[in-house]
Amino acid sequence: MNTDEIMHLALELSGFTEVPGDSGTWYPGANIRRVLVGIDAGPAELKIAKDLGFDLLIAHHPVERAGFWKVFLRQVDFLKEAGMGEAEALQVIDERLEALKLQAHVTNNDHVPSVARLLGMPFMNLHVPLDEIGRRTVRARVDALLAANPSATVGELVDDLEQMDPFNRAATRIEVPYGRRANRAGRVVVGMAAATNGGFPVARALFEHGVDTVLYMHIAPEDLKKLRESGLRGSLVVVGHIAGDSLGLDAFVRALRQRGLEVVTFSGIDTPEM
Ligand SMILES: [Fe+2]
Ligand SMILES: [Fe+2]
């Protein structure tokens, strides 16, 4: 395979029609047989991949931040799912969106890609497409549980997710930092695959619009504090960052292996051979 084919595979599996702003091919390659895949990769990992004879290094997390904010606009979809209009939804995310735009001016965006070019090391990163595979998997699992048991509690939802691979072998447990396990799961929004979590503003807007349970990969302590001070009706479930990322990455690694590539995983990913 070449890097174009691998990018197309990621887009196809996640339902994207073009390369999103948080992903890219930073140095193309062809005749790829051995691939190294991890959550985080920078200059050191590029050199290691080169020294170990890999044909391609794939990172999950973005290596340049110029287009990252565009992916945060996906939060609008979650807010619309709860019945909000586009303009109202944009207002909810306004402050964070601006912070992400400003961050694009701060970051030295070409640092890691420039190292890949210097080394001549094929390198790409796949962020939101793989998170979207993970989001759809969690969504399907939640829908199946609620179809079987419409009055399932948050605790039952958490226990069900905990049985899923890779949550059942993750270093962290799925938690309910806001609300109670005894609450009804009810209307659930799986707030994953939108650059980063929507923090307090998105969770508040969802709860105010009748969503009972919000799922995030993670939440910052200051956002959780605001949520607790708000006293809003609702529950927040956090599945864990690396565990949540593993979900989509494992699926992608398996797809590459099915196509005959030798894939070694590192940096938070440990995809069992089938
Ligand atoms: Fe992710
Ligand atoms: Fe991540």
pLDDT in tens, 14-55: 999 999 999 999 999 999 999 999 999 999 999 999 999 999
Ligand 2 center to 87 CA (angstroms)? 28
Determine the distance separating the centroid of ligand 1 and the alpha carbon of 217, expressed in angstroms. Answer: 8
Domain covering 132-243, topology? 3.40.1390
Per-domain residue ranges of the chain: 3-126+245-266, 132-243
Residues whose CB is under 5 A from ligand 2 (ion)?
A: 245
Q: Is the peptide bond before 166 cis (omega within 30 degrees of 0)?
A: yes
How many A from CA of 103 to the centre of ligand 1? 19
Q: Do domains 3-126+245-266 and 132-243 have the same CATH topology?
A: yes
CA angle, 191 then 179 then 133, to 5° = 20
Q: What is the DSSP letter of 196?
A: S
Centroid of ligand 1 to alpha carbon of 75 (angstroms):
14
* Ligand 1 centroid from CA 251, angstroms: 13
| Cβ–Cβ < 8 Å for 57, 41 | yes
Ligand approaching nearest to the C-alpha of 40: 2
- Which pLDDT tens digit goes with each residue over 99-114? 999 999 999 999 999 9
Q: CATH for 3-126+245-266, among 3.40.50.920, 3.40.190.10, 3.40.1390.30, 3.90.1640.10?
A: 3.40.1390.30
Distance 149 CA to ligand 2 centre (A): 31
- The identity of residue 33, as a single letter, is R
CA angle, 239 then 185 then 77, to 5°: 70
Which of 19, 1, 2, 34 has the alpha carbon at shortest distance from 10? 19
Residue-by-residue pLDDT tens, the chain, 274 positions: 999 999 999 999 999 999 999 999 999 999 999 999 999 999 999 999 999 999 999 999 999 888 999 999 999 999 999 999 999 999 999 999 999 999 999 999 999 999 999 999 999 999 999 999 999 999 999 999 999 999 999 999 999 999 999 999 999 999 999 999 999 999 999 999 999 999 999 999 999 999 999 999 999 999 999 999 999 999 999 999 999 999 999 999 999 999 999 999 999 999 998 7
> What distance in angstroms lies between residue 251's CA and the mean position of ligand 2's atoms?
15
